[in-house]
Structure 1
Amino acid sequence: MSVGAWEPENQESNTSSRQELDKALLEKLLTAMGTDTESLTTLDDELKEANWLAGLPAQQWLEESAVMDGEQIWALIRFFTLAEMQLPDWQGGAESPVIPLAKSLRQRKSPLTREQLLWIRQHSDNRYLPYGPL
């Protein structure tokens, strides 16, 4: 008699719709942030409740940002910085999407400006933003 290894059921099938980045939702988010807003209270409920976006893996944000321009990436950085502070149940900390998004700008040789870094500091108490744990 052989003893096999127990492998847990693949949970991804239950959450796959939440693991994939919905392009329409992302476009809505970018449009909402295009107004240079600093308050997320006026966002529609679909965006406010999309807190699962903050839990997507860093690699997924790096891949997604590869097809975005710098302004779109900055809009996402602003959104996730504000969401962590203003919306309930939005995780951040050392796993914040701001970190891979800022990294994508550095990889392009167009890192965040001093003004952008100051903006992040003024709008967040997350000590890991924008570069992650050092």
Structure 2
Amino acid sequence: MSTGNWDPEINAQRKALSIEPAFLTLFIKISADDQLDVIADQLTKTQLETFPALIELSIEDWQDAVKNLSNDDIWQLIRFWTVAEKSLVGWECGDKSPVIALNKLLKKRKKALSKEQLTWIKSTSNNHFLPNGPLLM
């Protein structure tokens, strides 16, 4: 078992975190600029420690936060979260992955992910809930 440092300031930041447009812009940029292989280098130490709290937000929170984004931007967010979950310590999402919320929004828009996109998610992620979530969701 590993132990980390408990920082009350980081803990408070995590509890107060919401999905800000600036966060979405950052995630989209990292993905669109093909910086996913060095994702940890694109985020500050504080971001690496606080952003995992975004996982705890609901599907509705995520869908509301991205409702005005283009389908391509949503795909970039899916790419970002798929890689972030696999490669960043503490970012494991399981059935709370934002990818699930984003995928559901694309389906509502009648813009379901393509076979190539689904294959990419499955080959990139080790989260068996992606991209559709739990069976009974």
What root-mean-square deviation, in Å, do the aligned CA atoms of Structure 1 and Structure 2 show? 1.9
Query: Scaled by the length of structure 2, what TM-score is found?
Result: 0.79
Q: Number of residues paired by the alignment?
A: 121
Runs of 4+ residues deviating >2 angstroms: 13-17, 46-49
Q: Distance in 1 between matches of 2:47 and 2:79?
A: 14
Residue 15 of structure 1, CA deviation: 6.1
Indicate whether 1:105 and 2:103 are aligned. Answer: no
> Which residue number in structure 2 is paired with residue 121 of structure 1?
122
Indicate whether 1:85 and 2:86 are aligned. Answer: yes
Do 2:30 and 2:80's aligned partners in 1 also have CA atoms closer than 8 Å? no
Change over 3 Å in CA distance of 1:44–1:128 after alignment to 2: same
Q: Distance in 1 between matches of 2:101 and 2:134?
A: 12
**Gaps (5+ residues) in structure 2?**
1-11
Q: Distance in 1 between matches of 2:35 and 2:119?
A: 16
Change over 3 Å in CA distance of 1:84–1:95 after alignment to 2: same
Q: Distance in 2 between matches of 1:57 and 1:76?
A: 16
Cα deviation, 1:26-74, whole Å, max 9, x if unaligned, reads: 2122112111333123312254331112221111111122111011101
> Which residue number in structure 1 is paired with residue 24 of structure 2?
26
Point out the structure with the larger helix share. 2
Q: Distance in 1 between matches of 2:111 and 2:87?
A: 28
**Gaps (5+ residues) in structure 1?**
1-12
- Larger Rg over CA atoms: 1
> Which residue number in structure 2 is paired with residue 4 of structure 1?
none
> Which residue number in structure 1 is paired with residue 41 of structure 2?
42
Q: Distance in 2 between matches of 1:79 and 1:118?
A: 15
Identity %: 34
